[in-house]
Structure formats: C-alpha cells, structure tokens
Chains A and B, each alone.
Chain A
Amino acid sequence: MDTTKKTIILFSGDLDKALAAFIIANGAAAMGDDVTMFFTFWGLNVLRKSVAPPHKKSFLQGMFGGMMPKGPGKLGLSKMNFAGVGPKLMRRVMRQQNVTSLEELIATAREQGIKMIACKMSMDVLGLSEDELIDGLDYVGVATYLGEADEAGVNLFI
C-alpha cells in the first residue's frame, strides 16, 4: 500500500477547530495514511479528563487549571460562543445533521491508531500533569514533532 504521512498540530482549544482537526485526521487515516497529532497550548485541553485527581499546583497554574475547559465536552467555539450557549447549539445542529461528535472522533482516532503526542513544555506552563490527560499519549518536545513532520507530506497548524 502506498502510505503517506500527515502531521497536524492542534494549538487551539476551540470546539470547532478541534472538530476540523479530528475529522481531517480520521479521514487521512481512513485513506491509509499514517497520522500524528501534536497537541500544544490550548489544544491540550481537548485531551483533558473531565475528572482528574487533585494536584499541588502553583497559584497561577491552579488558576489556569480551574479556568481552562476540562475536556472535549467543555470547549467553546472560536466564533459565536455566546458565553457557552454557542457550543450547545452547535452540538444540537451536529446531532440533527448526523455529524460525529468530538468525543466519538477522538475515540475513532485512537481505534485507527492515530498517534497523539502532547507538548510537555506547554503542559508544564499550564500546570497540566500526565494523569489529567487521557491515556495513551506520548509526552514530547518540539524535536519529536519536527522529526514526525519531516516525514510527512502534509502538515497543518490548527
């Protein structure tokens, strides 16, 4: 099989942008591509568990941790967020149109063997520890991502 490779950086923690990233990633994997997704900064929130064990954090990290969305169910929209009403409306329309939810897309990405790597440096800045994120991730630095991107024919920054 002629397999090519794609890399996607998810920097955004917006619901709409995360959906785009996971639809493209799943589509590419369905077409036989090897896909790596690199999660950094706000994009890490997409991988957060809704409930995580408590951690000792600095005051600022605690603020970040408390104010940032805990997982895919809590993400806002990049436009028309309307203080959190927007995502609810978006999800309703998506259900009506039979569009797969972000949670299902993440599960499908794992079934398809999409490699998910998380930026350790951003995790430290935002005060996120490994057990606050979903299992099965690799915790890496920029060099790992760049090594993956060197092998890829397409690289997206979302």
Chain B
Amino acid sequence: MSVVELATLQVSKTVDARGTSCPGPILAAKKGIVDVKVGEIMMVLATDSGTKKDLPAWAKKMGHDYLGVLEESGIFKLYVKRLK
C-alpha cells in the first residue's frame, strides 16, 4: 500500500505499544486484535524498530493481512487487517 493509502485507512482500533520492547508490541497486537471485527483494521503504535519485521511475521502466522507501516519521528504506525 502507498503512504497515502495507509494514511487514509479507516482504523477501528489503535493499540499503543510505544515504549515497549520485544515481545511487547506483538503481545499488544494479540490483545488488541480481539476487539477488531473481521475485515476491519487495527493500527499498532510502536517505538521498537524490530516491530517493523515482527508485526508482519505475527500477522502472517495469525492469518491476518499486514498492510504496511508509516514512520513519523521515531514512531511506527503499523496497519493490520483482521482476516479471521
């Protein structure tokens, strides 16, 4: 997805994992995804740069669609679409 597409996504749940380190962001994602309906989008906020690789791996394993990441002044916004 392009930067513009990501920035304009309709997010139904935001999970704040800023300030946590591995495995904090994926734990937060696991907890957060249950509040998201199938087909809707969760945004994970993180400051740990490993999350850019970890969240796609988590999404793949859990069967969700990782859409991409936006980076703003050291904060990563990662988008995941719940598929099941």
Q: Please report A residues at the B interface, Cβ cutoff 8 Å.
A: 1-2, 23, 26-27, 30-32, 97-100, 108, 112
Q: Which residues of B contact A1 (CB under 8 A)?
A: 62-63, 84
Cα separation A100 to B48 with both chains bound (whole Å): 13
Identify which of B19, B23, B27 contacts A98 (C-beta below 8 A): B19
Q: Which residue of chain B has its CB nearest to the CB of A97? A: B21
B54-71 to A contact mask, C-beta < 8 Å, 1/0: 000110011100000000
With both chains docked as a complex, state the minimum distance between the C-beta of B9 and any C-beta of chain A, in angstroms: 23
Q: Is the interface of A mostly helix, strand, loop or mixed?
A: loop
Contacting residue for B61 out of A32, A100, A112, CB 8 A:
A32
Cα A70 to Cα B47 in complex, Å, equals: 34
Given the complex of chains A and B, what is the CA–CA distance between A108 and B23 in angstroms? 11
Please, how many angstroms separate the alpha-carbon atoms of A26 and B24 in the complex? 9
Interface residues on B, range: 10 to 19
Of listed A1, A26, A30, A108, residue having the most chain B CB within 10 A: A30
Quick one: CB contact mask for B28-47 with A, threshold 8 Å, 1 for yes? 01100000000000000001
Question: Is B58 a contact of A30 with CB atoms below 8 Å?
Answer: yes
B29, A30: Cβ atoms under 8 Å?
Answer: yes
> In the complex, which of the residues A2, A26, A97, A99 contacts B27, with contact meaning CB atoms closer than 8 Å?
A26
B22 within 8 A of A: yes
